[in-house]
Amino acid sequence: MSFKENGYSVIKKALDKSLIDYLTKYISLKKDIFTFLTNTKSVSPLNKDYGSWGDLQVPDERIYNLYGDPGLDTLLLIVKEKMEKEVGCSLIENYSYCRIYVKGNVLEKHIDREHCEISTTLNIAGDFWPIFIKNKKNKNIKVDLSPGDMLVYRGCELEHWRESFKGDKCIQVFLHFNKKNKNNIKNKYDTRPTLGLGLYHKGG
């Protein structure tokens, strides 16, 4: 499966088991922290730096989401060289995003915004849940990922989605890049001054 030919490819074992085990515990702990902070009203509901419940794409208040976390943004740097080799060009790292999906969730068909030209979904842990992508020939492709596997795809061009989730929990991390050129250098870090800053620090 060639990225250049199809606009998507799978990198098997993009992250090793020890790192996946760490990320599973780290993301679960972040959710526990945010749950405590919201239950005790220790953080403003407008402050998304610790996470949020639900979002516009999957509006389910049971879902924990996390944007631009320092630990997860670090993954952009860890996989960047591997990604550049896969897609065949230099990349600008923009932002990470994480969701802990729960039973019944659906990810509707969509394409991504301009800061997600080269997108990934990285399976961290949980129950099996395939992702679908529409290839350049308008054919629906089912992609199965094991923990540590990463689907790399042209996020602004290829529709992608997930059907109703039958399992109990699934942790996915998304890493978003642009091709490096003078026209999109402004997109670096998703208009934040550095990696690891949440939504409060976004610019345009």
pTM of the model: 0.93
Structure token digits, residue 15 = 């992250």
- Asked whether residue 7 carries a pLDDT value surpassing 70, the answer given is yes
Residue 201's pLDDT is 64
Predicted confidence band at 101 (pLDDT cuts at 50, 70, 90)?
very high
Least confident piece of the model among 27-36, 120-129, 170-179, 180-189 = 180-189
- Asked whether residue 10 carries a pLDDT value surpassing 60, the answer given is yes
Fold for 3-201, please state it: Jelly Rolls (2.60.120)
Domain assignments of the chain as residue spans, ordered by start: 3-201
Q: Are 99 and 58 in contact (CB under 8 A)?
A: yes
Rounded mean pLDDT of the chain? Answer: 93
- Asked whether residue 183 carries a pLDDT value surpassing 80, the answer given is no
Long-range contacts of range 141-144, CB-CB < 8 Å, 24 or more positions apart? 141/8, 143/8, 143/10
Q: What is the mean pLDDT of residues 142-171?
A: 96
Predicted confidence band at 190 (pLDDT cuts at 50, 70, 90)?
very high
Locus of tokens 């991504």: 112
Q: What is the mean pLDDT of residues 146-163?
A: 96
Cα Rg for the chain, rounded, in angstroms?
16
Q: What is the mean pLDDT of residues 8-37?
A: 97
Largest CA distance in the chain: 51
Residue 53's pLDDT is 94
Q: What is the mean pLDDT of residues 27-47?
A: 93
Q: Are 102 and 164 in contact (CB under 8 A)?
A: no
Structure token digits, residue 150 = 């990463």
CA-nearest of 129, 22, 139, 102 to 121 is: 129
